[in-house]
Amino acid sequence: MFFTITLYISLLIFGLGLLYKISSWFRYSVGLEARDVSPAQRVFAFLRGLALTIFSPRIFTLLKVFVLDVLLQTKVLHQDFLKWAMHMCIYYGFLLLLLMHGLDKIVSTALFSNYYPTVNPFLFLRDFFGIFILIGISIAIYRRFILRVPRLRTSPMDVYAIVILAVIMISGFLLEATKITSYTKFQEMVEEYTVQADAEELRTLEAYWVAKYGVVSPKVKGPFDAETLEAGQEAHEMSCVECHSRPQWGFAGYTASRIIKPAALLLDRVNIPSLLWYIHFLACFIGLAYLPFSKMFHIFTTPLSLLANAVMEKGRSDPANIATRQLLELDACMHCGTCSVQCRVGVVFEALRNVNILPSEKIPSVKALVAGKKLSGEQIREIQEGLHLCTNCFRCTVVCPAGINLQELWFNVRETLLREGQPEFLVLSPLSLYRGLMPQSLERNHYPDPIDLALETIYPAGIPLELQDRSTPLVPSENGWSSTLHTSVQANTFSNCFRCVTCTNACPVVRNYPNPAEFVGLLPHQIMHAAGMGLWDLIFSSKMLWDCLGCYQCQEHCPQSVKVADVLYELKNMAIAKARSKLIEQKES
């Protein structure tokens, strides 16, 4: 009764969860292009796209991907054999165990008229599949907790997935072990199936089961003489053998039963088998009910993502379907960490300590963003920085075993976030090259907005030098900045500057303007001079810092060996650090 009720409750939660999750693929949107498409249009576009794909030659592409990437998981195999072995063990072990054992009343009994869980081959296969899962779980634990791959992060969700699987498997094996030894179970069975037996027959049967079937009896103990066993075997063959293969075939459970043997009587007396049975099926039901909300949801979503990405392409597919696919992709990530381990800027995480730099960690953040969760300003800043700290090299997309087009996802969310109005200083780095090359996805009149915002935040007065009142006297603003520059091995050469203007004359940016001071604020030699005088506000108000190409003409020409370009780089770092601390102060006050 309790079993049935909990089964239906968990099935109900699972079903509702599934609906809720699938509906979110159509309700939410990622990126600017998807904003104007309604959920209804998205559902319609999906159905149309599905029909057009199925009734076209692309169905063969789908079949191929299904066999190679979904069934054989060649993408994982190419990257890492150990990971592939782990996944195959769990994937096929669980699938087969679920069909044969979990759904035995529906599947096994329908397929095999002679199905009994306690006879071979089923008895053996149950343990065989189970051991595969346990091997898989062991590899997972080894990879996550012992191998310590740099930047492979383990989230509570990963721990949950390992724990729930481990609980199901271990409780299952222990249940089998305690049932093998259980005297109570033995007596129940005897009462039910040996109606006409006399006391002597029962004694020999019990002796036989103790000797051959692992039962631990409080009454009879071996060794038994051959006569008793022969008689026991006779009774056994009459009543039991049809439904019971030797328990040794259930090798894992049998091994466990030999280990617990000394405590078997006690365990049986306090009814541990029934406790284990509750743990076993409740863990299964919890896993089922929570599945749509856990990483195990990838059982459904990852194959869908692989299939969808095989037949979809930006520019060719309906943008409404791309939007839907991107939401599906967020659920298809199983947090395997391949992208983060292989990310070309992953190592930067070690310097900036922002987990959102790592692709696998961006996914939960982006999920929170699209679901409209309330995030703090600092959280949004970290997500934004993580999204921008990307060279757009596509490696994450190429290596993702779920086939998620991660790079496209980052680009879309990045642009949407930039519109929200938090300054992002990374737009002032050459990482913006990619953004500049993608005008078709950018509305041109908005393109410079984030750059202007970042500059305004950096300018101490909020405006560039050329717009400032030049009549204010220049006062050095001392705040410890000069000492940073003085002690920096790269930059301390600025004090050698005798203002010969050679650097400025060599600068192609200065040369580009008829009146350069009107465009760039301080000129290179003035910046070197201002640094010597500690006029930091003047320097940080100069657009020159951000218009510097880093071409090193200034530095090459300097007769005083001032490392002009290196100093400018260092000043950029300082300006950003200063602007960032100013932002944090503003938020706190």
Partner 1 sequence: MDFVLLRCCTTPIVLQQYEWSTNAVMEKLGIGLLDVPELGCCGYPLRNISFRAHVLATARNLALSEKENLDLLTVCNCCYGTMKYVDNLMKEDASIRNDVNSTLAKEGLKYEGDINARHILQVLYDDIGIEAIKEKVVRTFDGLKIATHYGCRILRPSKLAQFDKPHSPSKFDELVELTGAKSIDWSEKLECCGSPLWGINNELSLDLTEHKLKNAKQSGADYLCVACSYCQIQFDIVQEKLLSQRGIEAKLPSILYPQLLGLSLGIDGETLGLAENRVSISEIEWFLLHKEASTA
Binding site for partner 1 (CB under 8 A): 150, 342-348, 350-352, 389, 391-395, 425-437, 439, 447-448, 451, 489-490, 508-509, 512, 546-547, 549-553, 555-556, 563, 565, 569-570, 572-573, 576
| Closer residue to partner 1 in complex, CB, 6/74 | 74
**175 Cβ contact partners less than 8 Å away, ≥ 6 residues apart:** 253, 273, 276, 277, 280
| Closer residue to partner 1 in complex, CB, 397/526 | 397
Q: How far is the CB of 393 from partner 1 (least distance, A)?
A: 4
Query: Distance (Å, rounded) from C-alpha 456 to C-alpha 522?
Result: 16
Q: By the 8 A CB rule, do 558 and 528 touch?
A: no
| Closer residue to partner 1 in complex, CB, 471/515 | 515
CA atoms within 13 A on the CB side of 79: 21
Query: Distance (Å, rounded) from C-alpha 67 to C-alpha 441?
Result: 35
Nearest to 540 by CA among 486, 438, 459: 459
Query: Distance (Å, rounded) from C-alpha 394 to C-alpha 392?
Result: 5
Q: How far is the CB of 464 from partner 1 (least distance, A)?
A: 13
Q: How far is the CB of 218 from partner 1 (least distance, A)?
A: 58
Please state, in angstroms and as integers, the Cα–Cα distance from residue 333 to each residue in 206, 306, 361, 367, following that order.
54, 11, 10, 11
| Closer residue to partner 1 in complex, CB, 394/498 | 394
Nearest to 383 by CA among 402, 358, 348: 358
Q: How far is the CB of 345 from partner 1 (least distance, A)?
A: 5
Query: Distance (Å, rounded) from C-alpha 156 to C-alpha 158?
Result: 5
Q: How far is the CB of 574 from partner 1 (least distance, A)?
A: 10
Q: How far is the CB of 348 from partner 1 (least distance, A)?
A: 5
Q: Which two tokens stand for residue 212?
A: 């051959």
DSSP 1: -
| Closer residue to partner 1 in complex, CB, 239/392 | 392
Q: How far is the CB of 350 from partner 1 (least distance, A)?
A: 5
Helix (H) or strand (E) holding 69: none
Q: How far is the CB of 318 from partner 1 (least distance, A)?
A: 24
Query: Distance (Å, rounded) from C-alpha 283 to C-alpha 280?
Result: 5
Q: Which two tokens stand for residue 154?
A: 């383990």
Helix (H) or strand (E) holding 536: helix 536-540
Q: How far is the CB of 64 from partner 1 (least distance, A)?
A: 24
| Closer residue to partner 1 in complex, CB, 171/541 | 541
| Closer residue to partner 1 in complex, CB, 226/437 | 437
| Closer residue to partner 1 in complex, CB, 112/394 | 394
| Closer residue to partner 1 in complex, CB, 240/458 | 458
Amino acid (one-letter) located at 429: S
DSSP 563: -
